[in-house]
């Protein structure tokens, strides 16, 4: 599969057209940004880990009935995906208080939520991805009621599957962000699932194994990304 026109270059990925109209090629980069683009850097070989980890997670989710855009991995940094018309919302699922929620509700990071929290953010860089709710999404035409319902059901299912997988790998799934899009009128999970978009904490030590190591200058960023991927891969391999 050949890369044709570069359609979009984001912070962590490039999206290319291919000869097939309904298929895009995603190239994962090593670039990392945080705090709405204010902090910039590179994480050596992050693109390789995130490409492999997303491919593995999307495959696992497909096997467990969660429709997503993944088609196949074609190289270290490239994967083929189904073309989606993206819904301009991010769904964040949280099991443990961290990051922006800690600030918003005045709780310590690490506070275990009694049930998962779902949040919606409007995907808009110049506005800094503001927190919104269902009525904004409906009234502004970002998604229909049916689409929102499906996205939330899928997000809850992804959370259940990933909590279980992570637990077997000795990892707490703190929170994560998902993006969705439409193909032939059906809602598909898109974007990526990686330590860039999830918070993972080692169960035994509480060590952060995700992008917070970059955001907060904690060091051992590459090692943490590889460690999460390796541990999850071993669990998945042992099950199949």
Q: Which residues of this chain interact with ligand UDP, rule CB under 6 A?
A: 92, 98-101, 129, 175-177, 197-199, 211
Tell me the closest approach of the beta carbon of residue 134 to ligand UDP, in angstroms. 18
Q: Identify which of residues 17 and 134 has a Cβ nearer to ligand UDP in the complex.
A: 134
At its nearest, how many Å lie between ligand UDP and the CB of residue 185? 27
Nearest distance, CB of residue 19 and ligand UDP, angstroms = 31
Cross-strand partners of 90: 121, 179
Q: Which residue is nearest to ligand UDP (CB)?
A: 99
Of 17 and 222, nearer to ligand UDP (C-beta) is 222
Smallest gap from residue 64 Cβ to ligand UDP (A): 21
The strand pairing partners of 32, in sequence order, are 41
Strand 31-34 and strand 39-42: pairing? antiparallel
Our CB check for ligand UDP shows the closer of 133 and 240 to be 133
Beta bridge partners of 132: 120
Q: Which is nearer to ligand UDP, 129 or 202 (CB)?
A: 129
Structure tokens at 199: 């918070």
Cα(165)–Cα(172) distance, integer angstroms:
10
The β-bridge partners of 94 are 117, 175
d(CA 172, CA 216): 19
């Amino acid at each position: 599969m050949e890369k044709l026109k570069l359609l979009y270059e984001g912070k962590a990925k490039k999206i290319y057209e291919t000869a097939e109209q309904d298929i895009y090629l995603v190239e994962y980069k090593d670039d990392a940004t945080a705090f709405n683009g204010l902090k910039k850097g590179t994480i050596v070989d992050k693109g390789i880990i995130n490409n492999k980890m997303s491919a593995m997670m999307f495959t696992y989710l497909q096997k467990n009935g969660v429709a997503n855009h993944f088609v196949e991995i074609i190289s270290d940094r490239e994967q083929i995906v189904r073309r989606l018309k993206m819904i301009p919302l991010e769904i964040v699922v949280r099991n443990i208080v961290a990051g922006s929620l800690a600030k918003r509700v005045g709780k310590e990071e690490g506070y275990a939520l009694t049930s998962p929290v779902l949040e919606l953010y409007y995907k808009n860089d110049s506005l800094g991805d503001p927190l919104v709710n269902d009525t904004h999404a409906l009234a502004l035409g970002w998604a229909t009621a049916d689409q929102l319902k499906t996205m939330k059901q899928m997000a809850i299912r992804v959370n259940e599957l990933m909590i279980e997988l992570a637990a077997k790998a000795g990892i707490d799934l703190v929170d994560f962000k998902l993006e969705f899009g439409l193909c032939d009128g059906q809602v598909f999970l898109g974007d990526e699932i990686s330590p860039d978009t999830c918070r993972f904490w080692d169960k035994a030590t509480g060590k952060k194994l995700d992008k917070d190591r970059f955001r907060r200058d904690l060091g051992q960023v590459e090692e943490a990304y590889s460690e999460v991927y390796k541990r999850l891969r071993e669990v998945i391999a042992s099950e199949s």
